[in-house]
Amino acid sequence: MHNIGFSPSDILLPSKGTDISKWAVVACDQFTSDRSYWEKADRIVGDSPSTLRITLPEAFLEDSDKEERIDSINRTMNEYLESGIFECHPSSYVLVERSTASGTRYGLVGMFDLEEYDFSPDSKSLIRATEGTILSRIPPRKEIRKNAKLELPHIVVLISDSRRSVIEPLRDRKESFPVAYDADLMLGGGHIRGYVISGESDKKAIHEAFEELYSSLDPANPLLFAMGDGNHSLATAKSIWEDRKKEIPESEWAADPARYALAEVENIYDEGLQFEPIHRAFFGLDKATFDRTLSAFAAIETEEISKKEMHSFINEAQGRFALYDGEKLYGYRTSNTEKALSAWTIQSVIDKLLEGNECQVDYIHGTEETLSLAGNGNLALILPDISKETFFSSIISDKAFPRKTFSIGHAEEKRYYMEARKIR
């Protein structure tokens, strides 16, 4: 069996008696403009063991006390390791069952080989970024990870398994696996349950299912794993591994813990996995200027549409979107574009407008929230849905999506920190 880039790991989980509802905290890249969320989490956690004490919410990433926070994180990691907070499950996977308002979804936590991951735009690696990686976001994250003894992933990686052959067989016999945790998650995160998979026959079956999935791919462009959430965290781990490779002989690479990163794999066809487009708001821009800029990148046809018919219009064919100026809603058809995905064409427009300082742009979750920003010289742009059926093929043909094209569920439905792995 060859290396498919994903394997079991020595997984650390909170020991029995730990209050999971206080231990598990949502991904650090959520609620970045809402400090009150993190203040509520802090009050809930109190003095209890919690991943809040060993991660750094990005809402505080630019604060002047960042170094003190990082030092505190490293000290707390050492305390947790020495005090017996963790129980190690050697060479294991964890099957995760997560119930939220969007439904129940399943994932498999294991270890990714960073040698099989390449976030560059022209990558043909097994593991790839799905949106543009912003290189400037990596150095501050390296500062957090470089001296840490533990990693706690909020990374979600997708597979395109329409036959439901990898994770779903585990789901169907979940009762045969020992339960590692079972609890409600704080602040509207729903419920989570984890099952430890450590049997050799089970691990072999998982690998064989991945092998079969791999065998169906184009050998010249074998996209097996596509990033769902946490690409910059995985890119940070990759960057640190590339630094580490310069320090040690190649004979030691395979055993070095920095070569790997813990993450959760989810099947894009899981019914509980909800994709949402992220829309755009233009502040200080009129429709005529938008149209003039867009015409440099596409042939345009527009018509007035109603809000009732907007969703069906923009999802009827590729190259469509809607634009609202606060009074009228317009449906756009574009053609003769460099790439088929509307988000790419719009990103070209955004880049051009920002280059000329002609407006400000924000990326907004939710259709109604975006439409509410239109008027008084502002425009709301609504993008079409992201198709699960064409998600992987779009990455192969267009390399990746532009930044902030899609989101997997609402903020409180993102991954909560639970599992950990020693990386030093």
pLDDT tens string 274-314: 888 999 999 999 999 999 999 999 999 999 999 999 999 99
* Distance of alpha carbon 355 from alpha carbon 377, whole angstroms: 19
> How confident is the model at residue 387, as a pLDDT?
87
* 223 lies in the same domain as 307: no
Query: Kind of pairing, strands 275-283 and 406-408?
Result: antiparallel
Q: How many CB atoms lie within 10 A of CB 300?
A: 14
**Strand, helix or coil at 410?**
coil
Provide the percentage of residues in the chain whose pLDDT is more than 70.
Answer: 100
* 244 lies in the same domain as 294: no
Is 1 contained in some domain?
no
**The CATH number of the domain where 312 resides is what?**
3.30.1760.10
Mean pLDDT of the chain: 95
Average pLDDT, integer, range 64-87: 96
pLDDT tens string 235-281: 999 999 999 999 999 999 999 999 999 999 999 999 999 888 999 99
Distances (CA, A) of 316 to 277, 301, 311, 383, 410: 15, 15, 9, 12, 25
pLDDT tens string 159-216: 999 999 999 999 999 999 999 999 999 999 999 999 999 999 999 999 999 999 999 9
Residue 121, token pair as written in the block: 């735009």
* 163 lies in the same domain as 108: yes
> How confident is the model at residue 270, as a pLDDT?
97
> How confident is the model at residue 191, as a pLDDT?
98
Measure the CA angle with vertex 222, ends 218 and 224; round to 5°: 125
* Distance of alpha carbon 373 from alpha carbon 283, whole angstroms: 9
Average pLDDT, integer, range 89-114: 97
* 288 lies in the same domain as 367: yes
> How confident is the model at residue 213, as a pLDDT?
96
* 416 lies in the same domain as 366: no
* 201 lies in the same domain as 153: yes
Residue 262, token pair as written in the block: 């813990």
> How confident is the model at residue 2, as a pLDDT?
61
Nearest to 129 by CA among 398, 337, 366: 398
Q: Are 423 and 150 in contact (CB under 8 A)?
A: yes
Return the axis-axis angle of helices 231-245 and 138-145, rounded to nearest 10°: 70
Q: How many domains does the chain have?
A: 2
Residue with tokens 């092998």: 211
* 100 lies in the same domain as 201: yes
- Please give the residue range of the domain that contains residue 306: 277-408
* 298 lies in the same domain as 210: no
Measure the CA angle with vertex 89, ends 84 and 90; round to 5°: 120
Average pLDDT, integer, range 7-31: 96
Categorize the per-residue pLDDT at 357 as very low, low, confident or very high, splitting at 50, 70 and 90. Answer: very high
Is 169 contained in some domain?
yes
> How confident is the model at residue 1, as a pLDDT?
47
* 43 lies in the same domain as 132: yes
* 250 lies in the same domain as 110: yes
Is 51 contained in some domain?
yes
Helix, strand, coil percent values for the chain (each to nearest 5): 35, 30, 35
Nearest to 231 by CA among 143, 130, 322: 130
Is 121 contained in some domain?
yes
Provide the percentage of residues in the chain whose pLDDT is more than 90.
Answer: 85
* 302 lies in the same domain as 364: yes
Handedness of CA 419, 107, 34, 145 (dihedral sign): positive
* 96 lies in the same domain as 152: yes
